[in-house]
Structure 1
Amino acid sequence: MNKIIKTIIALPIIAITSIVYIKAKSYFEEYTSDFIDESFYSATLKEDRKIFIRRPRSYDEDKSYPLIIKTDGNFNLEQWDKQLKELGLKGKAEDSIVVAIPNQFWTDTRNRDLVPPYARKDVNIEARPASENDPEIFGRADKFLAFIEKELLPYIESKYPINDNKILTGFSAGGSFVLYTFTTKPELFTGYFAFSPAAWYDKSVVVKEFKKQLPTLTGVPKYLYLSLGSEENEIITGSFQGLLKALEQSAPENIYWGHSYSAGAGHNENPSISIPKAITEYYQFRKKYFPDWKQTALAE
């Protein structure tokens, strides 16, 4: 009898311990990094936000550096670190400060923050009926973009020597956020990388808005890089092809772009393969349209 009682008592304890262990493991994997972890309060989002800051090798406060703002937190952050080091050593890119923004850990904020305000936060393939117009159902990428523009960028620029070479990169929902930023605040960044962008929301409303806004983009040259895994599903592949068609038909003269398909790669594998391709093509663009970079890179 004592054994049975002990077993009955032990089982919930073991279950609770396992849950705590799994949650703690997930926290350290998703919400801490191997770089510099900082948190600050966002008045725009009305919450504390954590960021992971990766500094270049041989970081020197007397030099200025490119800045890469990355959604998706730790996802492929080590690959970014590796590729920036390797391509920098080869003179194919400038080593950069990378600021990765993780999703909030205790609450589900990914779709809230990254889905554009013309698509449903609770993402859906079917088009949104006109009768569904409650603001609460939409993504709030507009607020998240305001957080980046008005709070994150000034915060980073106050602490680190940043130059005007800035890139925004994101994967999946983060890719749709990149497209949203590219068409609404193109002046914030020079380079935009959207890996496997989730442009299929609400019957590809992201594609439709992208195509509508694309011809209005003016000003200094900008570079957009898109990529997709060759093994991704038909829905995301169809929306990706819609983005390419929009660029072919409607991109103004100051917009330069490239794309790739990662052979044999699925949704989660594509970004890691795409990172060196995107960086390399972006710096080829910079050498042509921002020739001072080449001289600076060689001098270093």
Structure 2
Amino acid sequence: MKRFILFLASVFLFFDCDAQPGNQTVLGKMDSIQSKLLQEKRRFYVHVPTGASGGEAAKKRYPVVYLFDADAQFAAATSMIQYLSTNYNALCPEMIVVGILHPDRRKDLTPTHVAADPPFWAPGSSKTTGGGEPFIAFIEKELMPYIDQRYPTQPYKMLIGHSLGGLAAMQIFVHHTRLFNSYVCIDPSMWWDNQTLLKETKLALEKRNFQGISLYLGIANTAEKGMNINMVRTDTTKETMHMRSILKLQSYFEMNKQNGLKCLGKYYKDDSHMSVPLITEYDALRFIFNDGPK
């Protein structure tokens, strides 16, 4: 943890060096396309490594990271990737980052429609839920071709999702596996719709081959004070359903080593649901790119 805190401090110092009067540090730009599939304009942020702007380096092409909830996640994830891909770090390659914004988050990021409103820990309306498959079709058939045509991309693609975004990442992992080469699922909402996707994940891990795919699972400590992880596993109350569902997901990964998936799950006992994304992304990049893109 001390090493991670030092890393964060160095990130802020690194970018602050360029924050001189009259100058700006720009992580990315806003872009958009008119989606025929979703019948709406979709906005997203795009970060392109600075080396892509001139000279021989302009011919270089980059892996692409797609991430959900760009309003909350884009700046931190992009800063980390930019810092960790520098020559004196080189823990991951330089990458293009595409941060997707959501005009209706629950519509985009949920795999099934639910009639009743979500439980107390995830307040909001259920009216538009279940738009996951059309949203994934938009990513595959419209957004990815647009990014590949207009930016210097490599074929390698990573997906990062947190909470409902993690649920959507798992939906893609299970039902559209080869759309991405690697997945970072951060405290995913696997409780959704009576754990329907969790059950589908179990069957997929048991029966299918995931050779060539990487996945990193980050688990936050969302238990009540005084509860340890073993108490959560055996608890039956609604209050622990979120964490129990993710721990069950981790157990499914651990029980199915035969399917070829490169996978690691980690429990962050000192991090909450909202603090866990940054440290998970840091550990995920180290895990996924330990030997370079697969």
TM-score range, shorter chain: 0.7 to 0.9
Residues 44-100 of structure 1 deviation map (CA, whole Å, 9 limit, x = unaligned):
111000010011132243011010011111213222122112211212100110000
Name the CA distance, whole Å, in 2 between partners of 1:110 and 1:169: 15
CA displacement at 1:207 relative to structure 2: 1.0
Alignment partner, residue 276 of structure 1: 282
Work out whether 1:57 is the aligned partner of 2:56.
no
Instruction: Evaluate the alpha carbon distance shift between residue 79 and residue 189 of structure 1 in structure 2; reply closer, same or farther with a 3 A threshold.
Output: same
The residue correspondences of 1:90-129 to structure 2 (distance < 5 A) are 90-104=89-103, 109-117=104-112, 119-120=113-114, 124=118
Work out whether 1:223 is the aligned partner of 2:210.
no
CA contact (8 A) 1:112 1:121 kept: no
Alignment partner, residue 158 of structure 1: 149
In structure 2, runs of 5+ residues without a counterpart are 1-25, 121-126, 224-238
Partner letter of residue 120 of structure 1? V
Alignment partner, residue 79 of structure 1: 76
Bigger shift: residues 233-242 or 186-195? 233-242
CA displacement at 1:259 relative to structure 2: 1.4
CA contact (8 A) 2:106 2:129 kept: no
Alignment partner, residue 40 of structure 1: 33
Partner letter of residue 30 of structure 2? D
Number of aligned residue pairs: 242
The residue matched to 1:212 in structure 2 has which SS?
helix
The residue correspondences of 1:173-252 to structure 2 (distance < 5 A) are 173-218=164-209, 220-232=211-223, 234-252=240-258
The residue matched to 2:51 in structure 1 has which SS?
coil
Name the CA distance, whole Å, in 2 between partners of 1:82 and 1:121: 39
Bigger shift: residues 240-249 or 53-62? 53-62
Partner letter of residue 94 of structure 2? D
The residue matched to 2:184 in structure 1 has which SS?
strand
Name the CA distance, whole Å, in 2 between partners of 1:78 and 1:50: 16
The residue matched to 1:261 in structure 2 has which SS?
strand
Alignment partner, residue 132 of structure 1: none
Instruction: Evaluate the alpha carbon distance shift between residue 121 and residue 93 of structure 1 in structure 2; reply closer, same or farther with a 3 A threshold.
Output: farther
The residue correspondences of 1:245-264 to structure 2 (distance < 5 A) are 245-264=251-270
Alignment partner, residue 130 of structure 1: none
Which has the larger Rg? 1
The residue matched to 1:61 in structure 2 has which SS?
helix
Partner letter of residue 280 of structure 1? R
Residues 197-253 of structure 1 deviation map (CA, whole Å, 9 limit, x = unaligned):
000112222211111222343364101111121245622110011101111223543
Name the CA distance, whole Å, in 1 between partners of 2:28 and 2:115: 31
Instruction: Evaluate the alpha carbon distance shift between residue 217 and residue 237 of structure 1 in structure 2; reply closer, same or farther with a 3 A threshold.
Output: same
Instruction: Evaluate the alpha carbon distance shift between residue 182 and residue 123 of structure 1 in structure 2; reply closer, same or farther with a 3 A threshold.
Output: farther
Partner letter of residue 92 of structure 1? L
Name the CA distance, whole Å, in 2 between partners of 1:55 and 1:224: 24
Name the CA distance, whole Å, in 2 between partners of 1:213 and 1:269: 30
RMSD, aligned CA = 2.2
Bigger shift: residues 180-189 or 204-213? 204-213
CA displacement at 1:258 relative to structure 2: 0.8
Alignment partner, residue 30 of structure 1: none
Residues 143-185 of structure 1 deviation map (CA, whole Å, 9 limit, x = unaligned):
0000000000000000112112210111100000000000111
CA contact (8 A) 1:57 1:95 kept: no
Give the alignment's TM-score, normalised by structure 2: 0.76
The residue matched to 1:266 in structure 2 has which SS?
coil
Instruction: Evaluate the alpha carbon distance shift between residue 122 and residue 65 of structure 1 in structure 2; reply closer, same or farther with a 3 A threshold.
Output: farther
**Percent of residue pairs bearing the same amino acid type:** 25
Instruction: Evaluate the alpha carbon distance shift between residue 41 and residue 83 of structure 1 in structure 2; reply closer, same or farther with a 3 A threshold.
Output: same
CA contact (8 A) 1:125 1:200 kept: no
